[in-house]
Amino acid sequence: MLAILRKYLADLLLNVLPNHCIYCLSPSSKSICQICLAALPTLKIQCPRCAEPNHHGEICGHCISRPPSFDQVICPYVYSGPVVGLINKLKNQTFALGSDHITDTLIEQLKDHHFDLIIPVPYHWRRLIQREYNPVRELAIKVGKKINTPWLDGLIRSEFQTSQKNLNRKQRLSNLKGAFALASLTTSTHIKGKNILLIDDVVTTGATCHSAAQILKRAGAKSISVACLARTPV
Ligand SMILES: [Zn+2]
Ligand SMILES: [Zn+2]
């Protein structure tokens, strides 16, 4: 109850007093001040393949026993603390206050890489009707503009899955069988021999990105990198 009241007051104050940090309400030219930004949980040590946070920086057991069809995951944050709230905001409104910082941090990490094409992880049309828009697609468009890389709705979600939330790794993989297909306008020229950047908002077990990357690899993609805003902790 207190948290709801605090959030309500913070939103109210920000409307009356712009140029304040959305967390500590101290004066700030950006929606999150430098101190609060530095306190967000960044992903530091991780599996080099799937970016699962770990304590040694070596490839994880999951990637050894069942290598994913993507080659790497580029991700700035751990999905915990205030990052969860920021990503939820981003999912619910296109220009969510504060969320621009986490997308900008991801874009900074992507600037050192080269990709030929960006493809967002698509929503099924039924989910699109429920949510009205796909925030992952908006993120892909923003990233494409900032890193000068073309983007394409290259995949479609051909099957409607039940929520993945309460499923384990194995159940998620079987739930996603046949989930993705190439979009009808996607040709082999778009994919064959290309270094593709697949975009999602949060990577949990990597099952969704694995299934999507599998379709692109079968179509001849040279490499698949995944970019996401946050990775769930173990
Ligand atoms: Zn602050
Ligand atoms: Zn891994």
> 138-150: per-residue pLDDT in tens?
999 999 999 999 9
Same domain, 51 and 147: yes
Q: If you average pLDDT over each of 9-13, 87-91, 160-164, which comes out highest?
A: 87-91
**214 pLDDT above the threshold of 70:** yes
Residue type, 75: C
* Structural domain total, the chain: 2
Check residue 33 and give its pLDDT: 85
- Distance (Å, rounded) from C-alpha 112 to C-alpha 108? 8
- Distance (Å, rounded) from C-alpha 198 to C-alpha 75? 12
Same domain, 163 and 86: yes
CA of 9 to the centre of ligand 1 (A): 15
**155 pLDDT above the threshold of 60:** yes
User: Which ligand is located closest to the Cα atom of residue 53?
Assistant: 2
Same domain, 18 and 123: no
CA of 200 to the centre of ligand 1 (A): 27
CA of 52 to the centre of ligand 2 (A): 6
Same domain, 65 and 92: yes
Check residue 26 and give its pLDDT: 85
Same domain, 187 and 226: yes
Same domain, 52 and 141: yes
CA of 20 to the centre of ligand 1 (A): 8
**160 pLDDT above the threshold of 90:** no
Tokens 């040709």 sit at which residue?
187
Same domain, 102 and 163: yes
Residue 134's CATH number: 3.40.50.2020
Same domain, 161 and 60: yes
- Strand ranges in 122-201 using DSSP code E only, listed in sequence order: 155-157, 180-182, 195-199
Check residue 10 and give its pLDDT: 57
Where residue 95 falls among pLDDT bands split at 50, 70, 90?
low
Check residue 233 and give its pLDDT: 84
CA of 71 to the centre of ligand 2 (A): 10
User: Which ligand is located closest to the Cα atom of residue 57?
Assistant: 2
| Low-confidence winner among 11-25, 70-84, 167-181 (lowest mean pLDDT) | 11-25
Residue 18 is part of which domain span?
1-39
Where residue 223 falls among pLDDT bands split at 50, 70, 90?
very high
Check residue 28 and give its pLDDT: 86
Same domain, 67 and 12: no
The mean pLDDT value for 151-179 works out to 77
Same domain, 91 and 206: yes
CA of 31 to the centre of ligand 1 (A): 8
Same domain, 46 and 10: no
The whole-model pTM stands at: 0.85
Percent of the chain with pLDDT over 90: 57
CA of 105 to the centre of ligand 2 (A): 22
CA of 53 to the centre of ligand 2 (A): 9
Check residue 94 and give its pLDDT: 54
CA of 39 to the centre of ligand 1 (A): 9
CA distances from 14 to 22, 80, 96 (A): 7, 24, 13
Same domain, 19 and 104: no
**13 pLDDT above the threshold of 60:** no
